[in-house]
Amino acid sequence: MNRNGTAARTMEALVLGAIILSSATSVSADPNYVLDDGSGAYNIGPSQFDAQLLWGNYFDATPGAETITEISVSLSTSVPVGEPISILLFDDPTDDLDPTDADLLARTDTITVAPAFNEFQTFDIPDATVSGGFFVAVMMDLQQGQIAAHMDDSNDLGRSWLFFDGEINLDDLGSSPLYYNMASTPFNGTWMIRATGVPEPSSIAIMLLGLHILIRRQNHRW
Ligand SMILES: [Ca+2]
Ligand SMILES: [Ca+2]
């Protein structure tokens, strides 16, 4: 092989390296499941009693983004720093836009940091693969008058839900004594909750294997 051939092969390896790098960095990509327009109008919380509040958005999985890795949330700026907060991912087995029968897949328990107006905090969750309809939610214990849930004021799709209980049963959301599809309330808005989905790990592995085979075949040709 001459020097030009060696240089070409080095360049080819660099290009392939760049492709592999870009697929790896896509794991921390911007949220690709987004319903809100980034501009919140309302903050909502229990006005008559202390309660555990769970609020979330219903999404449909798109091909190549079925493994959910991160959830991003914009909270009311009135939420104190250091409050316990749970970040939750459910899959809906019935894929019917109704998460009351959804199965909990992943959970991260953490604490709040100082929220800035209309800014999103991104929370890592244990990676979990969804199919069809899935539900992404936030849960907090709130005192009467504490408004935490931040909402964009349009919800044409009816995909935002709110659950109240003394202690919400995450294995049976539909058992909550109070729950609403926000489209049937005066606050028909979209929760400012987003999710990041990436290809399933098996498909990444297959893709990398494909590149490896490609490299081997090209080496044979040289
Ligand atoms: Ca589903
Ligand atoms: Ca359902």
User: Domain of 164: which CATH number?
Assistant: 2.60.120
139 part of a folded domain: yes
72 part of a folded domain: yes
Ligand closest to the CA atom of residue 93: 1
Q: What is the pTM of this model?
A: 0.80
Per-residue pLDDT, averaged over 193-198, amounts to 97
Task: Report the separation in Å between the CA atom of 195 and the middle of ligand 1, taken as the mean of its atom positions.
Answer: 15
For residues 100 and 168, give the distance between their C-alpha atoms in angstroms, rounded to a whole number: 12
Task: Report the separation in Å between the CA atom of 173 and the middle of ligand 2, taken as the mean of its atom positions.
Answer: 10
Query: Quick one: pLDDT at residue 24?
Result: 33
For the record, the structure tokens of 206 come out as: 């297959």
48 part of a folded domain: yes
Report in angstroms the alpha-carbon separations of 108 from 50, 123, 157.
Answer: 23, 8, 27
Is the pLDDT reported for residue 47 higher than 50?
A: yes
Is the pLDDT reported for residue 185 higher than 80?
A: yes
Query: Quick one: pLDDT at residue 220?
Result: 59
Pick 115 or 218 by higher pLDDT.
115
215 part of a folded domain: no
188 part of a folded domain: yes
Q: Is the dihedral of CA 181, 182, 184, 189 positive or negative?
A: negative
Is the pLDDT reported for residue 158 higher than 90?
A: yes
Ligand closest to the CA atom of residue 129: 1
Pick 22 or 187 by higher pLDDT.
187
| Domain carrying residue 43 | 28-202
154 part of a folded domain: yes
For the record, the structure tokens of 71 come out as: 């959830």
Task: Report the separation in Å between the CA atom of 65 and the middle of ligand 2, taken as the mean of its atom positions.
Answer: 20
Is the pLDDT reported for residue 203 higher than 80?
A: no
What residues have CB less than 8 Å from 68, skipping those under 6 apart? Answer: 33, 89, 105, 106, 125, 127, 128, 129, 130, 134, 136, 195, 196, 197
Is the pLDDT reported for residue 205 higher than 60?
A: yes
16 part of a folded domain: no
34 part of a folded domain: yes
Please give all residues whose CB falls under 5 A of ion ligand 1, grouped by chain where several chains appear.
91-92, 95, 131-133
Is the pLDDT reported for residue 174 higher than 90?
A: yes
Q: What is the pLDDT confidence band of residue 19, given thresholds at 50, 70 and 90?
A: very low
Instruction: Assess contact for 182 and 150: CB atoms under 8 A.
Output: no
Q: What is the DSSP string of 15-68?
A: HHHHHHHHHHHGGGPPPSB--S-S---EEE--SSS-EEEEEEEEEE--TT--EE
Task: Report the separation in Å between the CA atom of 14 and the middle of ligand 2, taken as the mean of its atom positions.
Answer: 47
Is the pLDDT reported for residue 209 higher than 80?
A: no
Q: Indicate the number of domains in the chain.
A: 1
Task: Report the separation in Å between the CA atom of 135 and the middle of ligand 2, taken as the mean of its atom positions.
Answer: 10
Ligand closest to the CA atom of residue 102: 2
What residues have CB less than 8 Å from 196, skipping those under 6 apart? Answer: 28, 29, 30, 31, 32, 33, 68, 69, 70, 71, 72, 122
Task: Report the separation in Å between the CA atom of 95 and the middle of ligand 1, taken as the mean of its atom positions.
Answer: 5
Task: Report the separation in Å between the CA atom of 188 and the middle of ligand 2, taken as the mean of its atom positions.
Answer: 20
Pick 3 or 101 by higher pLDDT.
101
